[in-house]
């Protein structure tokens, strides 16, 4: 086990949900610092199972879209999770993205206003004690809001070179004990770095298609890459989209390479101010279970 362990991202894939709980127990046994669940596969349902399947490891949602239920319904759900987990659960929320809104038939409003209102309504709900609240952020406005009203902030696919700027938007909250600072980092552990990067290029192509992510990465210093990607998207050329993702960009936003290098880079993320790096494992040679086995071996 390394001195400072990252957290892991875990989703309940249909058909492998029992195996997912067994995997969660193994993550806990190996001393990882947390388990955080994306919205895919119903992260809140998985968290309910984690409350009973694990004993000591912190866990929570990395993002639950705020538009899918009423705040009072969420409040009842997460207050229950907070109690039965013994305070190990953290509720991460966010506005999600346009493709999700279209799929669900949602008409979102202004993200900052909607998030502020959601948090206020959640906290005013007539329920028992609520868990800590984390905001999923990307650019400065939501980051500042997290520093103002939340108990933590979490990014996904952030650039390490831009993290000092992002943390400066929190108004010093990141230095507070108990204030959560996380980032979901796509991770492929492989001796073949080119193969690992190819996996990342495929995984991140959907994010590159989102204007808010492209704008964030432009601000982070990757304007040339985003301009190339935008031109490729206009031509619906996915090969060119992936080609636009430079090694320089991938090195700042993902983890790729042999186990010793990945461990060093996790430490670098922590030194950059991300208290809880959340590794999102993929594999260059197998499925998701193979990816977790590779992470386990790397952090023995």
pLDDT by residue (tens digit) across 47-72?
999 999 999 999 999 999 999 899 99
User: Which is more confidently placed, 230 or 102?
Assistant: 230
Q: Is residue 209, in this structure, part of any structural domain at all?
A: no
pLDDT of residue 103: 73
Q: Is residue 25, in this structure, part of any structural domain at all?
A: yes
- The proportion of the chain whose per-residue pLDDT surpasses 70, expressed as a percent, equals 99
Q: List 281's β-bridge partners, or say none.
A: 187
Q: Domain limits at 70? A: 7-186+256-298
Buried b (16+ CB within 10 A) or exposed e, 259-287: beebbebbeebbebbbbbbbbbbbbbeee
CA distance 100 to 184: 19
Provide the CATH number for the domain around residue 270: 3.20.20.30
Residue 108 has pLDDT above 90, yes or no: no
Q: Is residue 197, in this structure, part of any structural domain at all?
A: no
Q: Average pLDDT in the 218-247 region?
A: 97
Q: Is residue 246, in this structure, part of any structural domain at all?
A: no
CA distance 243 to 232: 9
| Strand, helix or coil for residue 135 | strand
Q: Is residue 105, in this structure, part of any structural domain at all?
A: yes
Q: Average pLDDT in the 117-127 region?
A: 97
Looking at the 3D structure of the chain, how many domains does it have?
1
Q: Average pLDDT in the 128-153 region?
A: 97
Q: By the 8 A CB rule, do 197 and 250 touch?
A: yes
CA distance 247 to 258: 16
Beta-sheet strands, E only, within the chain: 7-9, 35-37, 59-61, 64-65, 89-94, 133-136, 152-156, 180-189, 255-257, 276-282
pLDDT of residue 98: 73
Q: Average pLDDT in the 229-252 region?
A: 97
Q: Is residue 198, in this structure, part of any structural domain at all?
A: no
Residue 104 has pLDDT above 80, yes or no: no
Q: Is residue 208, in this structure, part of any structural domain at all?
A: no
pLDDT of residue 3: 64
pLDDT of residue 2: 54
Mean pLDDT of the chain: 95
Q: Is residue 233, in this structure, part of any structural domain at all?
A: no
């Amino acid at each position: 086990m390394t001195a400072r362990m990252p957290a892991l991202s875990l989703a309940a894939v249909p058909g492998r949900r029992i195996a997912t709980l067994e995997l969660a127990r193994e993550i806990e046994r190996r001393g990882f610092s947390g388990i955080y669940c994306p919205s895919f596969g119903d992260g809140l349902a998985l968290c309910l199972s984690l409350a009973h399947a694990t004993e000591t490891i912190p866990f929570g949602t990395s993002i639950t879209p705020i538009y899918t239920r009423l705040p009072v319904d969420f409040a009842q759900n997460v207050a229950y999770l907070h109690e039965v987990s013994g305070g190990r659960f953290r509720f991460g929320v966010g506005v999600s993205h346009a493709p999700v809104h279209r799929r669900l038939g949602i008409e979102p409003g202004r993200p900052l206003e909607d998030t502020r209102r959601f948090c206020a309504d959640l906290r005013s709900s007539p329920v028992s004690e609520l868990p800590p609240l984390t905001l999923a952020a990307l650019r400065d406005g939501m980051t500042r809001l997290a520093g103002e009203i939340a108990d933590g902030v979490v990014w996904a696919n952030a650039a390490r070179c831009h993290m000092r700027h992002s943390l400066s938007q929190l108004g010093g909250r990141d230095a507070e004990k108990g204030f959560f600072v996380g980032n979901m980092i796509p991770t492929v552990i492989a001796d073949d770095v080119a193969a690992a990067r190819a996996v990342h290029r495929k995984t991140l192509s959907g994010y590159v298609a989102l204007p808010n992510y492209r704008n964030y990465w432009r601000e982070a210093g990757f304007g040339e890459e985003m301009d190339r990607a935008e031109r490729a998207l206009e031509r619906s050329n996915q090969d060119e989209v992936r080609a636009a993702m430079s090694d320089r960009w991938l090195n700042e936003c993902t983890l790729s390479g042999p186990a010793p290098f990945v461990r060093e880079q996790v430490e670098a993320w922590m030194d950059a101010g991300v208290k809880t790096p959340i590794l999102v494992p993929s594999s260059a040679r197998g499925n998701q279970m193979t990816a977790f086995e590779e992470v386990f071996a790397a952090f023995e």
